[in-house]
Structure formats: C-alpha cells, structure tokens
Amino acid sequence: MLVSALCMSVLFVLFTIHALIPIFIVLEFVSGALGVAAGPITRTYVSSQSPEKSMGLFASLWWASLMLGQIIGPLIGAFIAETLSFEYSFYASSILSLVLAVFVLWAFPTDKKYRPKTRQTNILSDLKFVLGLRSARWLFLSATLVFVGRALIVAFLPLYASSVIDMSVIQVGVLFASLYAAELVSTPALGWLSDRFGVKRTAVLSYALSGFFFLLYFLVKTVYQIFLVSIALGIGLSGLFLLLALIPTVASSGTYGKVIGAYGSFEDLGIMIGPIIYGFVWSVYGPVYVFLVCALAQFLAAFLVLRIKNPNARETSR
C-alpha cells in the first residue's frame, strides 16, 4: 500500500503534462491498477483486527468512510478546478497521496508478528483455493448480484430521472445527494444492528428490502415520489458492507487477504455487467423494467446469503 501511494503521487503529476494527453487512457489504466490496492488491504486489516462481536460495526464504519471520501473528493476536486485550474486538482491529489504514504507508515504495523504465517503461493493456486470454498462462492455471487443493483444507481437512475420523470439537472443532483446521504447515515446504524441480531439475518433483510424498494419504481410518477423511493432505497443499499462482515464466516484469519481480493473482483464484475444488462433491457422492454432486473438480483442475493455456512476449520485453513 505504501508503494501504491508513492507511485500515485507521481502519477497524478503526469496527468498535468499536456504532452502525455495522447496516452491519457494508459495513465488511467495504471492509476486504476495502482489505486486498487487500498481497498483489499484496508478491508483485510479491518476484518483481521475487528473484535468478533463488533465485526458489523467496524465493516460499516469502513464502508461509511469510503462513501464519505467518494462524496467529498469530487466536491473538493471540482472546487479547485473551477477556482484555480484542473492541474491543481491533480496536484492536490498528489499531495494527498504523499499524506497517505506517511499515514500508512505511522498507522499500519510492519512487525512480522502481525503477518499470518502462510506458505508462499502463486495467484492461480490462491484463486483455486478460494473458489474451492463453497460458502465463499455463495459470498462472491452475492457480491456480484448486489453490485449489479449498485451499478444501476450510478449509470441508469440519472437517465431514468431526467428522461422519464423529466427532472432537471439540479433535481437529479439533489436526488443523488439525498440517496447517498440516506445510505451514509444508515450504514453505521445497520452495522450496530447486525452485531446484535446477526450479520447474515441483517444482510438478508437489507437485500430483500432493497429488492422491494426497486419494485416501487414501477409506481413512481412524480418527482416527489422518486425522491421518497430513492431515499428508502438508499437505506436498503446501506447493507452492501455486510458481505464484508461475512468474510470471517467463510475464511480463517490466515486467508482473509485471498478471500477479500477475490471478493473485490466479484464486486467489480457486478458493476461491469450491470450496465450491459440494463442497456439491453431498457432498449428491448422499456426503462422501468431495469428496476425489475435489479429487484430480482437483490432477492437472489438474499437467498444466496442464506446458503453461506460457517465451514469447518479443515476447509478454511491452509
């Protein structure tokens, strides 16, 4: 993670060099490859260091922090770009990357006693091992299905709100702010509840409610109604982090890194295939039917979470 932060501090500066604009896509690819390290590493650390009785709360705080960064980052970047220039936005990102590197050196332990004692393996053998865990497979499929719904919020809800409900650009912006605010506020509360009533039960309830709220879009006709349904959906989607809290259920502490790395890939798979599916459904059946696909995905994810069992130590230790 330290190497990633240092490399990103240099890469952000390269974005400001006009001579490198022809390879802008390459720089984007490299930045994605480097920046992706933060997610699995911090998630692994949260899973390994969280008290067992507070796993849901710790996972919810991690997710809420991620969401907060995704909200604040674009606002600050846009303000700097509009006030000064877009180059200064990249310079600010470079400085933040250096601050992150210092924080990593200070906050994350490097002593060998913190590292799980596992024999060295390669990526393919690790992936084969992880996919061999039955409960992990249900977890990964659930992540893909849940994030298929997340992809609709990002890619198609703005289009639906503007073209079908005839909302203005400002109204769409306020709609998204309301949805994300509902999700952000609900996330820690849901984490607290999951520690008291069970992570799996809370996850099933959250995804079932999300599916129900997606179906309510069939009844939406006015701006007021889409605001109410979207805020309710934000509360339902606040349970996305619960799959992270289920990782200790399917893996031993020595395999958290392997499982979380694969889990993140299945999240991205849902985000990637979601827009493809929705584009087809929108074109063939009509805009509102994308919400039906989302609802079915959430219901199926809830069913798969029920299939997740706590395997015996022989299955999860290596």
Q: What is the pLDDT along the chain (318 residues), one digit of tens a residue?
A: 677 777 778 878 887 887 877 777 787 777 766 666 666 667 666 666 666 677 677 777 777 777 777 677 767 877 787 788 878 888 888 888 888 888 877 776 654 444 444 455 555 565 566 666 677 788 888 888 988 888 888 778 888 988 889 988 788 888 888 888 888 888 888 888 888 888 888 999 999 999 999 999 999 999 999 999 999 998 988 888 888 778 777 766 566 666 777 777 788 788 888 888 888 999 999 999 999 999 999 999 999 998 887 654 333 334
**Does residue 95 sit in the same domain as residue 130?**
no
The predicted structure's pLDDT at residue 127: 59
**Does residue 92 sit in the same domain as residue 141?**
no
**Does residue 103 sit in the same domain as residue 176?**
no
The predicted structure's pLDDT at residue 237: 86
Considering the domain boundaries, does residue 317 fall inside one? no
Query: Domain boundary at 67, 83, 112, which?
Result: 112
**Does residue 185 sit in the same domain as residue 247?**
yes
Considering the domain boundaries, does residue 316 fall inside one? no
Q: What are the start-end ranges of the H helices in 15-132?
A: 24-35, 38-49, 55-83, 86-107, 123-131
Token readout for 43 is 């998630």
**Does residue 141 sit in the same domain as residue 108?**
no
Query: Domain boundary at 112, 137, 171, which?
Result: 112
The CATH number of the domain holding residue 291 is 1.20.1250.20
**Does residue 89 sit in the same domain as residue 133?**
no
**Does residue 128 sit in the same domain as residue 233?**
yes
The predicted structure's pLDDT at residue 130: 65
Q: Where are the beta strands (DSSP E) in the chain?
A: none
Considering the domain boundaries, does residue 296 fall inside one? yes
Considering the domain boundaries, does residue 292 fall inside one? yes
Considering the domain boundaries, does residue 318 fall inside one? no
Residue 137 CB partners (closer than 8 Å, separation 6+): 131
The predicted structure's pLDDT at residue 223: 92
How many domains are contained in the chain? 2
Q: How far apart are CA 214 and CA 217, in angstroms?
A: 6
**Does residue 91 sit in the same domain as residue 129?**
no
The predicted structure's pLDDT at residue 113: 45
**Does residue 91 sit in the same domain as residue 128?**
no
**Does residue 101 sit in the same domain as residue 205?**
no
Considering the domain boundaries, does residue 216 fall inside one? yes
Sign of CA dihedral 96, 98, 102, 105: positive
**Does residue 222 sit in the same domain as residue 287?**
yes
Query: Domain boundary at 112, 136, 156, which?
Result: 112
Considering the domain boundaries, does residue 117 fall inside one? no
CB 189 within 8 A of CB 202: no
Considering the domain boundaries, does residue 48 fall inside one? yes
Q: Which domain holds residue 59?
A: 1-112
DSSP state of 124: H
The predicted structure's pLDDT at residue 312: 43
Residue 183 CB partners (closer than 8 Å, separation 6+): 67, 234, 235, 237, 238
Token readout for 137 is 């497979």
The predicted structure's pLDDT at residue 153: 81
Residues found in the chain: 318
| Nearest to 291, CA basis, from 213, 180, 176 | 213
**Does residue 197 sit in the same domain as residue 277?**
yes
CB 136 within 8 A of CB 220: no
